[in-house]
Chains A and B, each alone.
Chain A
Amino acid sequence: MNHATRAAKFVGDADRTTWHDETLWFVRAKRDKAVYAVPEFQDLRELASQIKDHTLSKLDTYLEQFEEQAKRNGVHVHWAADAAEHNAIILDIIRKHNATRVVKSKSMLTEECHLNPHLLSNGIEVVDTDLGERIIQLRDEAPSHLVLPAIHLKKEDVGETFFQHLGTAKGEIDPQVLTEAARQHLRARFLAAEVAISGVNFAVAETGGVVVCTNEGNADLGVNLAHVHIAAMGIEKLIPRLSDLAVFTRLLARSATGQPVTTYTSHYTKPAAGKEMHIVIVDNGRTKQLGRPDFRASLKCIRCGACMNTCPVYRRSGGHSYDFTVPGPIGAILSPNIDMKKHSSLPFASTLCGSCSDVCPVKIDIHTQLYKWRQVLGEANEIPASKKWSMKLMGRLLTSPKVFGVSGKLARQGIKYLPYSLTHARHFNVWAVARELPTPPKQSFREWYQQQAKNPA
């Protein structure tokens, strides 16, 4: 199944699509308001972009510096080449402490590595503590957005899930009440947890510390109560200096939700006395992407989700239509690096309108990369053969002005003389399912021009 098929299914529910679109557009509008209020916002984007470019250009050095500092801080540093190794390392740490109760705050990396199923199948109870993540964990679904993981659900859906799993009243759909129920339910998990896993928003090479940004405070609560903290980070999370955080914290929340900053911007540098802190540094395809000059800029992503909120396709097709951990425009340029065949339709799930590139706080040229992935996929024969051949034919046609003139005329006359029932039949013409075809004129421009030239008015 490709993106178009899954998207068609989503958009088939017109009312839900309207709601999804408007809800995310509202987030985009909040982002705009926050962005307009900071006069230097465009300068900050440029700085962030340059800092990330610089870091990637010295990534090996910064990784080493980060590791050295972290070790000096008393942190255990692990390296994982891929998802399997990442999962194995984490399981190993948990086992060493004979722990079975684990809480986890938001981390797209652990999602990418499918850590939860791995831990669960090894007898470890792992509870996602971000409210949205907990909702989808209870429903056994994948997140549909980077920062709003349950945005595909309505409060009725959440109410039903909580009725089933948390014992809230049947039909209870008040977000306030549902959130309070989750607070009580999760508090018990926090208090009991032996190990806390967190993601990482930024890793500072200079200090060896990691920074985690949340609104709910779930990372802090989990990490600071548990005996062991495991922070999982992709190699691209690095930034050189502590002061660079100013640039990124000014951009992140404003871009993501329109808040001036996340409620908690927490800096974990050393373990608390008597406790343990581990950092797992993960590659899982990232160095490969670093080696693709056209696509390496995708590694600058700070996972703000702004490109999703603004994407007119994402808003109407839903996160699950991308069938990849990271949906939306950024997912569409990250996914082919992981599996070109499986995700071959994603770079085509865009009109190339460019809005994603314009909201991106680190100035990733997302829509240009979409265009470039299309070429890579075309070359690798990962686009439908019919498309490929019709394009080849068209290529020939369009280099021959004579044939071009005749065939255009044929097309035009075709529309004119074929019966409406045929030109508008679903199977023959997807255009016409929702749209009228243009009314064919008597004369093409070309014909008019030649006539004019012969008999000037």
Chain B
Amino acid sequence: MKVALFVPCYVDQFYPQVGIASLQLLEKLGVKAEFPAAQTCCGQPLANSGCEKDALPIYRHYVDTFSDYDYVVAPSGSCVYHVRKHFDKLEQTPEVQQVRTSAYDLIDFITTVLGVTEIPGTFPHRVGLHLSCHGQRGLHQANESEMTPVRDGQLRRLLGSLNGIELTELDRNDECCGFGGTFCVSEAAISARMGQDRVADHVRNGTTVLTGGDMSCLMHLEGIVRRRQLPMRVLHAAEILNGTLS
């Protein structure tokens, strides 16, 4: 199994520890992932801004970089969703089809491809889970409140298997945090308010460690947590899972 790690640009620059944790976690689970140095971006920021045409060369570059791999794993459901859903704009060569099916969110990969359902380890904290929309509604990694009252999902199950962990129950289980890519600056006021409301839900319900599978949402939420100097740590799920898995 040839596996590549895709590290989104903001993770590369601002949250290298998330890339490192992803790599190490995979290794502990028996997968040696490579990091192809030529990688850049999935093109989502451009496409979501209405510049899909300008993103096409980036798509092609992504395909060139990753079409040799059986799986391309990213600690970000959003990029994966973009590759799977929006690379339909490219001519559907075997390579393009390959990267569209081989793209996996890290937690999805661990759960569905590796078949891992439990992680041994201890994490004695009150953990609040942020469900990122693209992973949840886009990639169906978790149940949606629009469909069912049952709160279930891949990450919830993996985290739930840790000893001593207490998952906090939110008033609104899966409301969007308001990051939204360029939305976070083009609609800064609404974006901030959405983030503040999300964080407040966690505060109300006792979260001391805020986590999730998509670093972009977490970057936004962390920005709010730090601005308000709240006693809450923000960690990508890979950091928690990697730290508890010796």
- Do any CB atoms of chain A lie under 8 A from CB atoms of chain B in the complex? yes
Segment at the B interface, from A69-77, A241-249, A326-334, A430-438: A430-438
CB of A283 within 8 Å of the partner chain: no
CB distance from B138 to the nearest CB of A (A): 6
Known contacts A312-B194, A316-B194, A411-B13: does B49 contact A3 (CB below 8 Å)? no
B185 at the interface (CB under 8 A from A): yes
Q: Does B189 contact A (CB under 8 A)?
A: yes
Roughly how many angstroms separate A4 CA and B46 CA in the complex, as a whole number?
A: 19
5 A–B contacts, CB within 8 A, in A order: A36-B148, A391-B46, A408-B13, A445-B11, A445-B20
* In the bound complex, CA of A36 to CA of B16 (Å): 42
Interface residues of A (CB under 8 A from B): 3-4, 7-8, 11-12, 17, 21, 25, 32, 35-36, 42, 310, 312-313, 316-317, 347-355, 357-359, 371, 374-379, 383, 387-388, 391-392, 394-395, 397-401, 404, 408-409, 411-412, 430-431, 433-441, 443-450
Neighbouring A residues of B41 by C-beta, 8 Å: 398, 404
Q: Given A32-B146, A42-B147, A312-B176, does the pair A8, B13 have CB atoms closer than 8 Å?
A: no
Give the dominant DSSP class at B's interface.
helix
Please tell me if the beta carbons of B188 and A430 are within 8 angstroms of each other in the complex. yes
Cross-chain contact B58 with A412 (CB below 8 angstroms) = no
Query: How many residues does chain B have at the interface if contact means C-beta atoms less than 8 Å apart?
Result: 77
Query: What separation, in Å, do the CA atoms of A375 and B48 have in the docked complex?
Result: 8
Residue on B nearest A447 in the bound complex, by CB: B16
**B179 touches A (CB below 8 Å):** yes
Q: Between A and B, how many residue pairs show CB distances below 8 Å? A: 222
Binds A, one of B32-40, B91-99, B161-169, B205-213: B32-40
The answer on a CB contact under 8 Å between A441 and B48 is no
Q: Report whether A36 and B54 are in contact in the complex, using a CB–CB cutoff of 8 Å.
A: no
What distance in Å separates the Cβ of B84 from its nearest Cβ neighbour in chain A? 13
Report if A354-B133 is in contact (Cβ < 8 Å); known contacts: A391-B51, A438-B15: yes
List the interface of chain B (C-beta within 8 A of A).
7, 9-20, 23, 35, 37-41, 43, 45-55, 57-58, 60-61, 86, 133-134, 137-138, 144-149, 172, 175-176, 178-197, 219-220, 222-224, 226-227
The answer to whether A395 and B190 touch across the interface, beta carbons within 8 angstroms, is no
Identify which of B191, B195, B196 gathers the most chain A CB atoms within 10 Å of its CB.
B191
In the bound complex, do residue B38 and residue A448 qualify as a contact, i.e. CB atoms below 8 Å apart? no
Establish whether residues A445 and B223, one from each chain, have CB atoms under 8 Å apart when the complex forms. no
Nearest B residue to A433, CB-CB: B188
Known contacts A11-B190, A353-B137; decide if A408 and B12 are in contact (CB<8 Å).
yes
Residue from A7, A42, A313, A317 having most chain B Cβ neighbours under 10 A: A313
Nearest CB of B to A445, in Å: 4
Taking a contact as CB atoms under 8 Å apart, the answer to whether A438 and B9 are in contact is no
* Contact of A443 with B146 at beta-carbon distance under 8 Å, contacts A398-B43, A433-B192, A434-B224 already known: no
Given the contacts A350-B183, A383-B50, A438-B219, A317 and B190 also touching, CB distance less than 8 Å: yes
The residue from A353, A355, A409, A434 contacting B180, defined by CB atoms under 8 A apart:
A353
Complex formed: what's the CA distance from A357 to B136 in Å? 13
Tell me whether A358 and B144 are in contact (CB under 8 A). yes
With A7-B190, A399-B58, A430-B185: A352-B40 Cβ-Cβ less than 8 Å: no
**For the complex, what is the distance from the CA of A141 to the CA of B189, rounded to whole Å?**
25
Give the contacting residue for B179; candidates A12, A351, A444; CB below 8 A.
Answer: A351
| CA distance in complex: A383, B182 (Å) | 13
A-B pairs with lowest CB-CB distance, top 8: A351-B180, A435-B223, A378-B50, A434-B192, A445-B19, A353-B176, A374-B50, A358-B146
In the complex, A444 Cα to B39 Cα: how many Å? 14
Question: Chain A CB within 10 Å — which of B40, B43, B50, B189 has the most?
Answer: B50
**Chain B residue nearest in CB terms to A313:** B190
**B9 pairs with A404, CB closer than 8 A:** yes
Asked if residues B57 and A395 are in contact (CB atoms below 8 Å), the reply is: yes
Q: Are B226 and A436 in contact (CB under 8 A)?
A: yes
Known contacts A398-B58, A435-B195, A448-B20, A354 near B138 by CB under 8 Å: yes
